[in-house]
Copies of this chain bind each other. A is one copy, B any other.
Amino acid sequence: MAERELIEYIRKLAAVDKPPWATVGIGDDAAALEVPGGGQLVVTTDMVIEGVHFQSGTAARLVGRKAVARALSDIAAMAARPLCTLAAVNFGACRDETTWQELSRALCETAREFSAPLIGGDVASGAGPMSVTVTALGIPGTHGIITRAGAQPGDAICVTGQLGGSIRGRHLEFRPRIEEALALAERFGVHALIDISDGLSTDALHVAEASAVGMVLRASEIPISLDAVDLAKETGRPPIWHALNDGEDYELLFCLSEAQAQEVVRTGLKGTVVSIVGDVTSERESYLLASDGRREPLAAEGWEHLT
C-alpha cells in the first residue's frame, strides 16, 4: 500500500463525517474551516522523523527549523498567512539535554521568524528515532484560500525557484514561500497552488487529479538547481530526473492564466524567480514533453513516505 492509497483510504473514512464548516478536508496541503463565531482558519500537522526527513546527527537547530518551516510551507500552499504553531517533540533515544534545549529553541525561533508564535506542544522521550510534529494554524489572505483543485485547461503551470538536489542542504534551510503565495492569490488570480514537497512530478499529478485536468511539463523549461546538477554527477541520473523527482524543494507549483503567468515572470514575485514550465490541458493525461517532441507519461516517482 502506497502513501496515496492509505491517504485515500483515510479520506474516504473521514469523508462520512466531514462537517459543512470544514471547507477543505483530508487530501489538500492543509484543512480549512469556518470557526464558530466568525473567523476562518487553515490548519495542518506535519512530521519530520530522524532517518526519514533528516539524518541522524543533523544539528538540532536545523531539525527544529525544518519542522516548523515544513508545516508553514503547507500553510503557504493554501495562500494563507501563518497565525501560530504547536510542536510535539519525541526525543526518542536522545538523552542529551543540550540537544533538547537547542531543538526547543529552534522551534521557537523559527516560529517567531515567520510570525507564527509557538503557543503549545508536548514533549516525551523513549526509544528509537527522534521526531517532531508541528501543527500550524493560518488565516486566509484577503482573496481566500487556494487549493490544488482549481487548475483550468489553458492555464500555464509555473514554479518558483530551482528544483532538485535539495538533499544537499536546501531541504533543511528553505524559506516557506508565504509572501509569494499571498501575492499570487492577491495580485495574479492564481487558480491552483501546491508546495513541492513530494517532487515536481508527483505534485503536478496531485494538482491534475484534484483539478480533473492534464498537465504537460516541458522538460527544457524546468529550472534545474545547481544541487541537482552536482547530485547527478554522483547518481549517474540526468539532472532533470532530480528536478522532477527529488522533492523537498518547498517551492510553489501553481496554475494561472497564460497572461497572468507572463506578468508574474515579467514583474517577479517578491524577488523570487518564477518559471513557466508547462500547460494545463483538458485531457486526463499528464506527460513530460522532451525538447525533441517525445512524450513521456508523467510518473509519480517522487517521495514516498510509506515504504
- A residues near B (Cβ < 8 Å) are 1, 3, 6-7, 9-10, 13-14, 16-19, 22, 25-26, 30-31, 33, 35-41, 43-47, 49-53, 83-84, 86-88, 90-92, 97, 100-101, 104-105, 107-108, 111-112, 117-129, 131, 133, 135, 137, 139, 305-307
Contact = CB atoms under 8 A, between A and B. Distances in A.
A65 to B, nearest CB: 14
Contact of A121 (B10, B41, B131): B10
Given A43-B119, A50-B126, A125-B306, 8 more contacts: A17-B111, A35-B37, A45-B121, A46-B122, A47-B90, A51-B126, A51-B127, A122-B133
A124 B38 contact: no
Given A38-B38, A84-B33, A306 B123 contact: yes
Q: Is the interface of A mostly helix, strand, loop or mixed?
A: mixed
A119 B1 CA distance: 22
B305 A49 contact: no
Contacts of A1: 97, 100
6 contacts: A13-B104, A26-B118, A35-B37, A43-B137, A47-B122, A122-B133
Contacts of A33: 83-84, 119, 137
Q: Top 8 A-B pairs ranked by shortest CB distance? A: A38-B38, A128-B128, A37-B39, A35-B39, A31-B120, A17-B117, A133-B133, A52-B126
A125 B306 CA distance: 5
A43 B139 contact: no
A49 B64 CA distance: 20
A36 B39 contact: yes
A130 to B, nearest CB: 9
A305 B118 CA distance: 20
A52 to B, nearest CB: 4
A117 B86 CA distance: 20
A36 B139 contact: yes
Contacts of A45: 45, 86-88, 120-122, 133, 135
